[in-house]
């Protein structure tokens, strides 16, 4: 697979990465660890070299999984992980205090079995901690050689600017896809201006853009989609209009809906690197195939014209989760 450079940083990664959260967390019962080790190693053999995890996935279990699975390929792969969300009495709590970041990085280094973290994100902005303090903490970690690059996840453009002015960001992570277009208004122009890479998570709309989910779909107990507004039956039924358009394009391109959704993202900017998540090697192979699909300028105009008129129904987060985004 070809590589892409994340903004003005020296960090080059495979043009499609792998979000690994679902291998340990968030979508119902965690899959068998041995099977996930095998899937991760098969992904590397297929040419996927960019892996995304976080301290809170599990918590801790996902970093341990990657540490074990990717150890034989450490010289080939780039691993991104995140700090700033803790589990407290079974609930996620945002905590971006410098002393907590310094504790977190030590745990992540150990679990990932690495000497330095390639890309270290603040998972969510803590409203009680000035972002300047976080940037100085990340600067300290870079000087100490514990992290190589740093980034922010789900941050506002004002926060991004303040942080970048102190210690340049390699990447910003946020949701972006054919059914989440908000980053086009302010975020993407800001990242382009500042020379920061963009790593869209949920580029397949948590599975919806694959065309395999409809209003009759039943998610397992513990699957976070059960509570999300966009995954309620009425919203999914309304949003099928978008899937119909994607399916039509997929037929014309002899591709799958998932490949079209990813190829569209890749066509937006050369410094955008989506990280679709899956637990199945067949899906990884399918997703990697999206890199071979190219759109002409006219085709992109037609896709945008067809999708711009669709009003997506349902918020992407619950009110509680929405409070943590865009700070």
**Which residues carry out catalysis?**
57
For residues 143 and 304, give the distance between their C-alpha atoms in angstroms, rounded to a whole number.
44
Residues 6+ apart with CB under 8 A from 238: 313, 314
Secondary structure (3-state) at 5: strand
Q: Phi and psi dihedrals of 128, rounded to 5?
A: -90, 0
Q: Which residue has the tokens 């303040």?
A: 162
Cis peptide before 76 (omega within 30 of 0): no
For residues 215 and 207, give the distance between their C-alpha atoms in angstroms, rounded to a whole number.
13
- DSSP code of residue 138: H
Exposed, middle or buried: residue 294 (CB in 10 Å: 0-12, 13-18, 19+)? exposed
| Helical H segments across the chain, by residue range | 33-46, 61-69, 98-112, 131-143, 157-166, 187-194, 233-253, 257-268, 281-288, 297-308, 319-322
CA 153, 155, 160: angle at the middle one, nearest 5?
Answer: 105
Closest CA to 19 of 2, 36, 1: 36
Instruction: For residue 26, give both structure tokens.
Output: 């968030």
Q: How many CB atoms lie within 10 A of CB 55?
A: 23
């Amino acid at each position: 697979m070809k590589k892409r450079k994340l903004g003005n940083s020296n960090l080059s990664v495979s043009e499609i990465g792998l979000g690994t959260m679902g291998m340990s967390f968030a979508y119902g019962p965690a899959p068998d660890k041995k099977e996930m080790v095998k899937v991760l190693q098969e992904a590397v053999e297929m040419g996927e070299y960019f892996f995304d995890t976080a301290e809170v996935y599990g918590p801790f279990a996902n970093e341990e999984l990657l540490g074990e699975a990717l150890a034989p390929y450490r010289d080939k792969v780039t691993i991104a992980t995140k700090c700033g969300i803790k589990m407290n009495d079974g609930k996620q709590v945002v905590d971006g205090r410098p002393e907590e970041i310094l504790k977190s990085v030590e745990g992540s280094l150990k679990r990932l079995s690495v000497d330095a973290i390639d890309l270290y994100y603040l998972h969510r902005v803590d409203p009680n901690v000035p972002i300047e303090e976080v940037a100085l903490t990340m600067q300290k970690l870079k000087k100490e050689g514990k992290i190589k690059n740093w980034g922010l996840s789900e941050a506002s453009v004002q926060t991004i600017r303040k942080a970048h002015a102190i210690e340049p960001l390699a990447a910003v992570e946020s949701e972006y896809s054919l059914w989440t277009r908000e980053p086009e208004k302010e975020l993407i122009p800001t990242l382009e201006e500042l020379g920061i890479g963009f790593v869209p998570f949920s580029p397949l709309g948590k599975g919806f853009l694959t065309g395999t989910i409809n209003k009759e779909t039943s998610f397992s107990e513990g699957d976070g989609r059960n509570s999300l507004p966009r995954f309620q039956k009425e919203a999914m039924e309304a949003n099928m209009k978008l899937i119909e358009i994607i399916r039509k394009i997929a037929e014309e391109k002899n591709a799958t809906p998932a490949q079209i959704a990813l190829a569209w993202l890749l066509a937006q900017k050369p410094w955008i690197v989506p990280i679709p998540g899956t637990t199945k090697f067949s899906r990884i192979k399918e997703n990697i195939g999206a890199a071979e699909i190219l759109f002409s300028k006219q085709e992109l105009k037609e896709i945008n014209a067809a999708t711009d008129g669709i009003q997506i129904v349902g918020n992407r987060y619950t009110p509680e989760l929405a409070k943590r985004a865009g700070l």
